Amino acid sequence: MSEDGRWLVATREGATNRRNGILVFSLQDPARPELVSEYTETLTAGVHNVFWVGDLVYAVNDGTNDLHIIDLSDPARPREVGRWGLPVVGRSLHDVWVQDGMAYVSYMNDGLVILDVGGGDQGGTPEAPVQVSRIFYPGGPTHSAIRHRNYVFVGDEDFSLQGTTPGVPGLDNDPRGPVHVVDVTDPANPRYVAKYEVPEAGAHNFWVDDDVLYIGYYQGGIRVVDVSGELRGDLYAQGREITYFLPAAGPEDARLPFAPNVWGVFPMFGDGWSPVGDVFYATDYNSGLWTFTVELPEKPIS
């Protein structure tokens, strides 16, 4: 969604006509979104997700595994204005987060890449991004990243464990992966400083709000973690977990009963990226959409 909440971009993968790309909708009447344009010219192979900043959409291209920058200053006539790809054979781009003119690009087995797209001192622009740094860390494939203060929270998505519960649909893959913490006080020299890892579970998508990290942790459910202050070492062992909840429903309400499988946790948004209220949403593969609130402690755990 655009920052003013007036426009929505939907990504498309696996279109029946093999023309994927993005769809642009007007939200003038939010109850009746109106399709105003499609853009497939350079995104035909499919778009996994996008990040919208100002008039620009940063799109993850399934085919090129490059970051494509699309200008939507005229939503009826999208056009590509920039592109950047890691010069590695066999690269796999999964996600992007853009903040203060810096792009944090999740390149799976090739780590986290930080790009100057107008906010650094490397001369980068959206039309010609410049790589500032790249970091590998202990763990699995770099799936997604979010910047908060001087930290980037990086989630892995590791499905290397296969057939751990054979014959049970939905449990034949056993995801793993922590949330890593990278200090980007100096973006040119990022430092791995901490992690949060639930044993025998895997992180997926997450959100940070007011020094609290909300994680969709697959079979580990919803995890809520204090990330205030200085972050160092093993955050799970330090007792920074504020609370957790395992969404589960019975046979009448779940595809796979009593088996949490949380994909992501997100707040209620107002216009664009502005969270409002104290209600959060969690999406669970097996039992659907959940809403919840969290009673936070008066003082941070740290």
Concatenating the DSSP letter of every residue in 153-220 gives EEEE-B---BSSSTTSTTTSB--BB-EEEEE-SSTTS-EEEEEE--TT-B---EEEETTEEEEE-BTT
- Could you give the CA distance from residue 108 to residue 105 in angstroms, rounded to a whole number? 9
Q: What is the mean pLDDT of residues 81-109?
A: 95
Kindly state whether residue 254 falls inside one of the protein's structural domains. yes
Domain that holds residue 237: 48-70+85-292
Kindly state whether residue 14 falls inside one of the protein's structural domains. no
- Could you give the CA distance from residue 300 to residue 44 in angstroms, rounded to a whole number? 47
| Beta carbons within 10 angstroms of residue 2's beta carbon | 20
Mapped onto helix, strand or coil, the DSSP state of residue 287 is: coil
Query: Between 100 and 177, where is the model more confident?
Result: 100
Kindly state whether residue 286 falls inside one of the protein's structural domains. yes
Quote the tokens at residue 293: 């609130």
Kindly state whether residue 11 falls inside one of the protein's structural domains. no
Counted domains in the chain: 1
The closest alpha carbon to 220, from 206, 234, 208, 203, belongs to 203
| Beta carbons within 10 angstroms of residue 299's beta carbon | 8
Q: Do residues 74 and 85 touch, judged by C-beta distance below 8 A?
A: no
pLDDT, tens digit, 9 for 90 and up, residues 137-151: 777 789 999 999 999
pLDDT, tens digit, 9 for 90 and up, residues 29-76: 989 999 999 999 999 999 999 999 999 999 999 999 999 999 999 999
- Weakest-pLDDT range from 136-140, 148-152, 220-224, 246-250: 136-140
Please enumerate in sequence order all residues whose Cβ is within 8 A of that of 127, keeping only pairs 6 or more positions apart, or say none.
69, 81, 82
- Could you give the CA distance from residue 245 to residue 115 in angstroms, rounded to a whole number? 36
pLDDT at 271 over 80: no
Quote the tokens at residue 164: 């751990």
Kindly state whether residue 186 falls inside one of the protein's structural domains. yes
Kindly state whether residue 238 falls inside one of the protein's structural domains. yes
For 6, 182, 271, the CA distances from 70, given in Å and listed in that order, are: 17, 28, 21
For 89, 198, 225, the CA distances from 95, given in Å and listed in that order, are: 18, 22, 22
Kindly state whether residue 22 falls inside one of the protein's structural domains. no
User: Which pLDDT score, from 0 to 100, does residue 140 have?
Assistant: 72
Kindly state whether residue 198 falls inside one of the protein's structural domains. yes
- Could you give the CA distance from residue 270 to residue 272 in angstroms, rounded to a whole number? 6
Read off the CATH number of the domain in which 90 is found: 2.130.10.10
- Weakest-pLDDT range from 6-15, 175-184, 191-200, 267-276: 267-276
Percent of the chain with pLDDT over 90: 70
Q: Do residues 56 and 72 touch, judged by C-beta distance below 8 A?
A: yes
Quote the tokens at residue 90: 């066999």
